[in-house]
Amino acid sequence: MRPLAGPAALLVIVVGGVLLKYCSHPEPRPDRNFMAAEMTAGDKDQTGTCYSVDVVLTANFALARGAVKSWTRLDDNRWTYKVEDVQSGPVGPVQAYLAVTLLREGNRVEPVAYETSDKEAPSVEEGVKALLQAPDHFHSTKVDRCRQAAGSH
């Protein structure tokens, strides 16, 4: 039986790997191009912010310890990003959340909805303005369009 032990162990590993690959359900997430696209300011003119979706979300939420972050696919070009947490309120623990829905339009991504658990949720434009404070503060990397513009001055 000993000569069969190695192949048998290999078989178990291969079968286990295949089962894991096809039976597990990884969290949905927009494709790389969506994440790398420039986010607009959520205004009528769709002004560019110079930051990619990935940079804005990372600068704001990468260090949010204990918060649950998730993507919900509405269609190929429309996704909602939600950050949820439980925070201590004045009368006990309360759920706090922020959800921003993003729509890909060409090579840009436009925030089309912005919701929070606050009683008075800000407008989309105000919400995006708040989100831009973190990448500004960290001097995060800007998209090529803005880097080239800055370099040409």
Binding site for other proteins (CB under 8 A): 8, 12, 15, 66-68, 70, 84-86, 88-95
CB nearer to other proteins: give 77 or 117. 117
Q: What is the nearest approach in angstroms of other proteins to the Cβ of residue 99?
A: 14
Q: Give backbone dihedrals phi and psi of 15, rounded to 5 degrees, phi first.
A: -60, -40
Q: What is the CA radius of gyration of the chain?
A: 21
| Helix, strand, coil tally for the chain in percent (to 5) | 40, 35, 25
76: left (phi over 0), alpha (psi -120 to 50) or beta: alpha
Q: What is the nearest approach in angstroms of other proteins to the Cβ of residue 93?
A: 5
Which H or E run includes 119?
Answer: none
Q: What is the nearest approach in angstroms of other proteins to the Cβ of residue 8?
A: 7
Q: Decide: helix, strand or coil at residue 101.
A: strand
CB nearer to other proteins: give 67 or 112. 67
CB nearer to other proteins: give 10 or 149. 10
CB nearer to other proteins: give 36 or 67. 67
Q: What is the nearest approach in angstroms of other proteins to the Cβ of residue 2?
A: 15
As given in the structure block, the two tokens for residue 135 are: 């990448």
